[in-house]
Amino acid sequence: MEEINQEQGFNEFENPQPQRPSGLSIWCVLSFINAGWQVLANILWFLAYNVMQELGQSEEYYEMMEKFSPDTEQLETTLQSQLAVSRISYLLLVLLYIGSFMGVLYMWRQQKKGFHIYAISQILILIVTALFVTSVTGDSIVMPAVLTAIWIGIYYLYYRKYMY
């Protein structure tokens, strides 16, 4: 390998590969974990949606859960709010989190297009969440929007300096 590089006039020390900053690596790893978790969770909700609806209407389920959890009212409220969300939104979120994962993968490789893919995916995730989730559950979209802006901002700083 060294012979080929020397024959072509390529010297690793003259043209070093750009090094990914450790901070970018940490942020990417955290984003990989989040996107992977979200893809898995949303796939499971999409696939188990009908079964969960049956459980949500079953008194036997809540009676059984009383043995494991002292606050079955909270469990019922949480389950009902999850079931109030359209099944299709879980599929849309799977696709968008895959897009987010791909964007992070490109940023891991220090490619500028990764930032754009990630930012667009995250903004679309906010829109889908606002349309399908928070509009039904009554939760606020403010905190997810702030967190998304922070993450995009952090990646933008790396985008300007380290991505090619």
In a domain, residue 145? The reply is yes
Residue 18 has a pLDDT of: 72
41: left (phi over 0), alpha (psi -120 to 50) or beta: alpha
In a domain, residue 143? The reply is yes
In a domain, residue 62? The reply is yes
**Residue whose tokens read 């790893």:** 29
Question: Which parts of the chain register pLDDT below 50?
Answer: 1-2, 4-5
Give residue-wise pLDDT tens across range 97-123.
999 999 999 999 999 999 999 999 999
In a domain, residue 87? The reply is yes
Amino acid sitting at position 73? E
Cβ atoms within 10 Å, residue 100: 26
In a domain, residue 8? The reply is no
In a domain, residue 119? The reply is yes
Amino acid sitting at position 65? M
Predicted structure pTM score: 0.80
Cβ atoms of 158 and 21 closer than 8 Å: yes
In a domain, residue 17? The reply is no
> How many domains, the chain?
1
Here the tokens at position 131 are: 């349309």
Domain limits for position 77:
23-162
In a domain, residue 7? The reply is no
